[in-house]
Each structure stands twice: as C-alpha cells, then as structure tokens.
Structure 1
Amino acid sequence: MTESVHPDRGPDTAGSAVRSRILGASWEQGLPRLVLAADVLAVLLATFLSAQLRFGGPRLAEVPGLDALDYSVLSLILSALWVIALGVDGSRDIRILGGGSEEYKRVLRGTLYLFGLVAIVSFAVGLEIARGYIALALPIGIVFLLVGRFLVRGWVARRRQAGAFRRRLLLIGGPKAVKHVFDALDSEAGAGYRPVMAFLPGYNPRRPDFLPIPCRTDVEGVEGVVEQVGHMDIEAVVLTSGHPLVPADVRRLGWELQERGISLIMAPALLDIAGPRLHTQPLAGLPLIHISTPRLSRGKAFTKRVFDVVASALGIVVISPLLAAVALAVKATDGGPVLFRQQRIGLGGTPFTMLKFRSMVVDAEEQKAQLVSDSGDDSVLFKMKDDPRVTRVGGVIRRTSIDELPQLVNVLRGDMSLVGPRPHLPHEVAQYEQYMSRRFLVQPGITGLWQVSGRSDLPWEEAVRLDLYYVENWSILGDLVILARTVKAVAASDGAY
C-alpha cells in the first residue's frame, strides 16, 4: 500500500469519526428538524402579529359556504400552508442548509409562490381576506424566516468550524483535480464537508505532504473503493477529473454506495460556474452538462438599473446628515477639498470620474511613488496597512467604508452600479491579461464579491477571479445577497485599511 500522511495530523481512521447529534437524532436528520422548528415559530409569530397589528383584536373573515372564520384560525391555516410550501420547495434539504445562498432563495421562492396561490384562490372562490393582513404577513414573515435561518446557520457554522456536522469524504481522481477539490471544500467548512482520504489511482505524488490527509495510489476497482469506504467510515464519495472508472463501474459504484446509504458526488472540472448556468440533458444514457452563455439581457439590465437608481436616491436622502457631518470633518482636518476625484475605467472600458471622501493628505498621489519604492511592493494593487498618507478622520471613514458613500452619486449618474466588479485605475487596466477585459461587460460597483471576501487583504489574482465570477453569474438575488454581506463585512471592518 502506498500512503502519505501529513506529519502533524496522522491518519484519519474510522475510530476518530464522532457522530454529531441534533434533537436526539443524527445531525443529517436533526438539522432539518431544527430548521423546521425555526420556520414554524417564525410563521406563527408573523401571522398572529400581522392580525394583531391590522385589527387590534378578534376579527372574522368571510368564507363562502362556511361560517365566518376568526383570523386566529386563519393564521393557523396560513402558517401550516406556509411551512408546507417551504418544505415542498426544498428549503430544508440537508444539501443546502448551512452554506451558500440557495437556502435563502428557496425560502423567498416558496413564500412568494404560496402568497401568489393564496391571492388566486381568494379571488376565484370569493374569500374575503383583508389585504392589509396579507400585506403585513408577507414582509414580516420573510424577515422572521430569514432571521431564523440566519441564526440557525450561524450556530451550525460555529459547530462546523469546530469539526462537527461535517460529512466525511473520500476523494478519487488525479492529483491536481483532487487537490483543487480538497482546497475548495477545506476552505468552506460551512458547507459541511470534510475530506478524510484521497485515492489517486496510478499516480505518484511528488511530495509526501501533497495533502494533509492519507493518500493511496494502489486502490483499484469498485470493490477496492467500497472496502475502504467501510473501513474509513466514509459518508460520501467524490469523483473528479482523472479517476480511472469507466461509466459502467461508476454506475455499479453508485449502486454499491446506495445500498450503504452513502452519497456519490461528481465534481467536474468546471471553475466558477454558478448553478443556474448548468443544465443537464440526458442523451442515449449520457448526462450531458450544458453551460449557458452568461448574458445580461435588456430586461435584466433595466431591472438592475431601476434598482440602482431607486436605492441610491433613497440612500442619499436617508444618509444626508451623515454625508454633511463627514464633509465638515474632512474639511476641518486640513482645509483641503472634501471629495477625492479619480479617473477609473467603467462599462465597456470607458473612463469616468469616481468620487470618494478624501481620506488622505492633499498631496497623497505625489507621495505614492516614493512609498512604492520604499516598500518594494510592485503588485498591481498597491495597499499599505499603515499608510502614512491617511489622515486621522480618513482612518475612521476608511475602516467603516464611509469614504465610499459619495459613489452613490456615481450610481445616479450611471457611471457605476451598487454591486459590480471593482473599478480599476487606467494603469491597472494596462496590465490586464486579455481575459480580464470581460470585467467591462458590466458596470463597476460600490461593493462586490471582492468587498465581502477580504477587501484590501485580497491578492490581485483573487480579486480579478471574483470579479469575473460576478460577471459570469450575475443575478438580482445575488446582488441582494452581496449587499447584505457587505453590511456584515463593513460592521466587522474585515480587510479594511
């Protein structure tokens, strides 16, 4: 047997697997039950609170052919239907709980489908339900549901960081593909996967510490995989590029694993492709995977623009006192200009003037060349954690990202969007490789995936990768998720300097 073991960890054997439990059941069964309990509590609170706010006491609803129903009974019925709708839409599927945005998407989709159905049925049968009650129950319920899911997810994430609630994985494939899958899963503990062993049939890793888990190269055939699955207490097997199994063996492996209650996961060599762009087409027994071309249609572009204009205009009105206070503070610092104007490259490679509150001394640009020389930092994105050019007020507004707020004016003008790729300087764009120009297919944004994934701590290559991922996989719901994550990142001052 050929095996490599990380020197600091040692082999991960079956005896080290500890089954976590929730509500007296295995975590795979208990977690959906916990989420179900949170959903029931959320919708009951939402419906009864809505009835109380709308009527202030007992009130009857007219039901054709029946005696009038009290809104307390109606609230119970609506709550039950709501919980069922969320289950039918798969929002409590164990595969999506605890990580990613799909869980929230299904909560919103299931809720909207239910209320749409309620409206149609009410109209069709003449059910007199107060519109004010529905108008309150819908938004309150969505907020309560999302808050409940967020709280459960936070608890699950903390437990998964501690090693609980994670499925033990066996990775099978070529060294590069297995390493990529391992790094991706290991960095996303919240997804609930823990690679514990790798099979690299026919390969010989160059280094003994190729992976921090045991690696074997001599396991062959379905029988060998199944034997090790039982020995290592594996809960899911991942096949990725470079595995030696022919289609018939993959099918037989799936049958063998199914009998043992173990999942088979295929991880194709597709990078940064979001789920909605993947479509499966069965053809002569082959599951063909189609990757749709990323395209921002006119309708989607119009929706995004309307959202940008409305949100930025409201934002400027709401935070106008803060904008005035910051402007006075910046002016009082050294008497220099309040705003910092800088040329950036936007949609289609067109230059525009980006606005920010000035956070540095007036001659900051003149000092930059000397600082770059002194620091020896020749990277495309020059950042310093303790930049001597930053003023006292500037340090505060940079940590809280308040210096970015004048860009709401750029959004109103149409130069920028609320969410999009980072707007780069002309000299940074001059260093682009050809594929990076795809960033110009959409408007740059005040915030984006780079903002919620490390901000100034991100290396240039990772920032570009995130920007391209956004361009390739844009959606309105994705924008809303990024805006919500931005609030969290700004509150925590993650990577801001």
Structure 2
Amino acid sequence: MWLFGETMPHVPVPRPVQTHVIRKQPPAGRRTGKPPWYGPAAVLGDAVGALLPVLLAFTLADSTHAVAYALVAAAVWLLVRGARDRYAERRLGERHNLGPALQDWLVLVGVLAVVRAATGEESPFLLAMAALAPCAPTSAVVHTLIHRHLMARRRGGQAIRRALVIGEANAVDGLVSHLAKRADHEFVVVGVCAIGDEDPHVLAPVAARLDRQAPPHMSTDSAPVLEAAQQLDVDVVLVVPGPCMTGPRLRRLSWALHSEECPLVVVPGLTEVARRRVGVSSVAGLTLLDVAPPLRQGCATLLKSATDRLGAALLIVLLAPVFVVVALTVWLDSPGPVVHRQTRIGRGGKPFTMAKFRTMVADAERLKHKLAATNEQDGRMFKIRHDPRITRVGRVLRRYSLDELPQLFNVVQGHMSLVGPRPPLPDEVAGYDEVELRRLAVKPGLTGLWQVSGRSDLSWDETIALDLRYVDNWSPSVDLEVLVRTVRAVLAGTGAY
C-alpha cells in the first residue's frame, strides 16, 4: 500500500472505513480551493481566545492595566501562532491541532515570562497563568470546527485537487486504492498515466501511456503527460517512483511540468509515518527521506509513565463514589463476582491479570464456545452485537465504558497505560502474525485510537491499522488528543457492545 501525505498523529479515522469512499468529482475547469474565510476565522478565534479571558481575569482582580494585558497577550499569541506557520493555507483544516496549540501555548508563556522580567511587571503569577489557560483549548476548538467543515466539503467534492497519477500498473493501483478508502485528504484521481502495457485496475481512465524504457528525448515523456494534464484540467501530478521511473527520468519530467506551472508530488512507498518523524536531506545531489525511530525512551516516555500512574491514582480517588455505585448495581443485578479478572497480554508479550466490572453472566467463558459460530468480527477478536451473555446492567456499563474503570488499578501497577492499544487475550496473540505482534511493542491502554474511532464497529484490519499507527507515531500530544476524544466517544457510546 502506498502513502500520500501524512495521516497522524491525530489521523484521523473517525469512523469505520469503507472499501471505497464515494466522493463527487469537481467539474473540469473549476478550482476548488479552501474557503478564504478559514484564515481570518482562525486568527479571530485565537485573538478572542487570548484577549477575553485575560481581560476578564484582570478586570475581576481590579487591575488598572487589564486592557493592556489583554492586548499584549492577544498580540503575542497571534505572533507565536503566525511565526509557527499555523495560519498557512495548506495547514488550515488539515488536522485538529490540539497538540500544536499546546506547544504554542508553552512558547507563549515563555515569551510573556521574558517580557514580564524585562519590564518589571508585577501582576500575580497564578492569575496570569489562569488567564492564559484558555488560549490553547480555544484555538483547538476553532481549528477543529474548521477541520470538520473542510472534511464535509471534501466529502461533497469541494476543496479538493484533481490529480493525475503516473506510475507502473501495480503502483498506481496501490496509490489510487489507498486514496479511495479515505475522504480526509485533498486529492481526487481523475486519470492515470500508465508506464508500460499493463492496465491498472483502478476506475480512473488511462489518459496516457509511457514506455517502460527511459526515452532518448524529454518530450517523449512530457508530451503525453502534459496533454493528459491539460485535457483533464488537473491541479497536480502524482508520481509513484519505481524501476521504470528512475531519478533522471523523473527529473526531466519535473522540468516539463514546472515549465507549465503544474505542481509535481512524488509519492514514496512509506505508510503511516507521522510528519514529525520525517525529514528531508540532500547528500551528493540525492534527495533523502530521514525517518526517525518511534519514541521508546527518554524524557517523553518517563513523563508518560509518571502521568499514567499519577493520573490513574487521581481518577480512582475522584471516581470512588462511581466505583461503589457500579459495584452495588452489578452485585444486585445477577449472581457472581462483582469484578471479573482475566489474563491479558501486555508489553513485550508479558501476561498480566486485568480487572473490569463483570458485565456478563458468571459462566460466560463456558458459553463462549457455544457462540463461536455467531462471531461478528472478521479477525482475532470475538464480538457479538447482541451477545446473550451480557446482563442488563452490563449493557449500560459497556455502552458508557464504566466496566473498564477497575483497569485504573492496572495502570497504577504499571501493567497498562491510560492510552494504548487494546489489551489482547492470550488466544488472540497466539494467532498473531509478525505485523500484529508489533502492537505489543507498547503497553496496552485503558483507551486508545480503537476506542475513539468506532470500537467494535471497526473491522480487524482497521483495528490493527489504528494500533500500529499509535505504536509507530506515539507522542505526548497524541495521548492528550486521544484522552480528549475519549470523553466524546464515551458519551456517544458508538460501537460499544
């Protein structure tokens, strides 16, 4: 499978992915860029999110400089966001931006701290921090609304770019199929230029053909490509390199396309790698992609471990009344233990005992073998939408994920994390292949991309894809975004059964 662009960390697979996304194609001759109001809306949202809280906080504190503080905070916030390229047209609406907003907020605090020290300003420090706190979440909300609007437009065939794909048949099939499965990107393929005599299996028409051998004259390649691009009124040409599309050949093709002001994008065969892990360098005239390894050690992982344990301990204290109420309802609803303990597989294949509130009848494990033929999942997991073993209270607990609360104790013990892949059963792991085993490279989580992207409604392949995306592209900002999305997923109860 081939990749165009980046899908993480935040990528979003917000709902089960169909085999192909049906999306309208824009008519030829019409450019469908992003709405021009995205930039002003983002700037206005950031300005208001910084100005109003600071103004309100210092006004309530009877400060004589409330207006000045608010104006300075808003101006610095906009400068920080602008300097970090947050208002660039190519970025607006492409992701939720919670992680970048938090990074920018830390820069904002640092800049204002320097200004405070340089000017000798003596406003209460805690008051200032509280006043600045809404900046990041407000910005994230504004950018999320823009993102949702952009995704809705793209599903309707707007704000997208007409693309011509060049490559060998298999490579073209892989790229076009990958793009057709998702609607969260800007490309719609309107034609292909096949290299060689083999026909691609994609639905897009073959607009031109190129010889497998590099031609002696540049025009032999460029003429059919430029003619196809003009006839189809394309906005961009996507090239999938391969044995036939060599570096010198691609370079000559780029000269022809750029002379006609037609953008060229080269698609590497690298999938599910976050943009922050990829760098571009040049060595001896060669353009290289530097792919950084996933985060597995260092300060970030130590911070994750500490945050997991402290956060889980705090949640246990805060949710103690909920624990008591749920335990009592489980005990009154059906005979059997209140807490169900089960062996799961953790990081590196190490087994541990996971706890959860019992949601099934006491002999559920014995009945599972009788229901094996009714499994509705297409992979290793066993899931039935209307499982007869689930109790009345159990259905409510599962819908709102209350049955998972005892796993907070597993997090405190270090067996699990707050965010991570779903903890698998031993019999599931026994059937894993080498790709599926990679999901055991990190601790399993109480919540994760699987839980916030559809849960049991997802296919096995989609589940594995989400888990591997998290394993390969984890960062603290990814965890934070998943935790925020978890609240919405729990309240909605989508895919929980």
| TM-score, length of structure 2 as denominator length | 0.86
Conserved 8 A contact 2:99-2:481: no
SS at match of 1:360: coil
Equivalent position amino acid for 2:142 in 1:
G
Q: Quick check: 1:431 aligned with 2:436?
A: no
Equivalent position amino acid for 1:273 in 2:
V
**CA distances 1:149-185 after superposition (whole Å, capped 9, x unpaired):** 2222222222222222222222222333333333333
Among 47, 53, 73, the residue aligned to 2:54: 47
* Distance (Å, rounded) in 2 between the aligned partners of 1:374 and 1:10: 34
Identity value in percent: 37
Conserved 8 A contact 1:196-1:213: yes
SS at match of 2:463: helix
**CA distances 1:258-313 after superposition (whole Å, capped 9, x unpaired):** 56654322220012222222222211221111222334114332211111012112
- Paired residues for 1:275-354 under 5 Å: 275-354=275-354
Equivalent position amino acid for 1:78 in 2:
A
Q: Quick check: 1:176 aligned with 2:183?
A: no
* Distance (Å, rounded) in 2 between the aligned partners of 1:192 and 1:129: 47
Conserved 8 A contact 1:90-1:106: no
Conserved 8 A contact 1:423-1:444: yes
* Distance (Å, rounded) in 2 between the aligned partners of 1:124 and 1:44: 22
Compare 119-128 and 389-398 and name the one that shifted more.
119-128
Matched residue, 1:408: 408
Q: Quick check: 1:233 aligned with 2:233?
A: yes
**CA distances 1:25-72 after superposition (whole Å, capped 9, x unpaired):** x5264432332232233223233233234x24xx34xxxxxxxxx330
Conserved 8 A contact 2:420-2:442: yes
Q: Quick check: 1:99 aligned with 2:94?
A: yes
* Distance (Å, rounded) in 2 between the aligned partners of 1:158 and 1:376: 30
Distance 1:369 1:10, change over 3 A: closer
SS at match of 1:189: coil
Distance 1:36 1:456, change over 3 A: same
Matched residue, 1:164: 158
Give the superposed CA RMSD: 2.7
Matched residue, 2:12: none
Distance 1:254 1:481, change over 3 A: farther
Matched residue, 2:17: none
Conserved 8 A contact 1:97-1:153: yes
Conserved 8 A contact 2:45-2:142: yes
* Distance (Å, rounded) in 2 between the aligned partners of 1:198 and 1:336: 62
SS at match of 1:120: helix
Following superposition, the deviation at residue 244 of structure 1 comes to 4.5
Equivalent position amino acid for 1:146 in 2:
A
Matched residue, 2:140: 146
Matched residue, 1:67: none
Conserved 8 A contact 2:23-2:156: no
Distance 1:38 1:19, change over 3 A: farther
Matched residue, 2:83: 88
Matched residue, 2:477: 477
Distance 1:255 1:84, change over 3 A: farther
Distance 1:465 1:145, change over 3 A: closer
Among 185, 204, 211, the residue aligned to 1:213: 204
**CA distances 1:336-374 after superposition (whole Å, capped 9, x unpaired):** 211111000112222111111111111111100011045
Matched residue, 2:493: 493
Distance 1:192 1:395, change over 3 A: same
Among 184, 206, 218, the residue aligned to 1:190: 184
SS at match of 1:461: helix
Conserved 8 A contact 2:208-2:225: no
* Distance (Å, rounded) in 2 between the aligned partners of 1:158 and 1:434: 37
Matched residue, 2:15: none
**CA distances 1:196-250 after superposition (whole Å, capped 9, x unpaired):** 22222214236xxx32332335256123323322332222222223385443453
Conserved 8 A contact 2:38-2:146: no
Distance 1:488 1:378, change over 3 A: closer
SS at match of 1:194: strand
Distance 1:243 1:35, change over 3 A: farther
SS at match of 1:330: helix
Conserved 8 A contact 1:327-1:338: yes
* Distance (Å, rounded) in 2 between the aligned partners of 1:395 and 1:108: 37
Compare 359-368 and 444-453 and name the one that shifted more.
444-453
Following superposition, the deviation at residue 469 of structure 1 comes to 2.6
Equivalent position amino acid for 2:313 in 1:
A
Stretches of structure 1 lacking an aligned partner (at least 5 in a row): 1-8, 21-25, 61-69
* Distance (Å, rounded) in 1 between the aligned partners of 2:253 and 2:145: 38
Matched residue, 1:127: 121
Following superposition, the deviation at residue 403 of structure 1 comes to 1.2
* Distance (Å, rounded) in 2 between the aligned partners of 1:256 and 1:494: 50
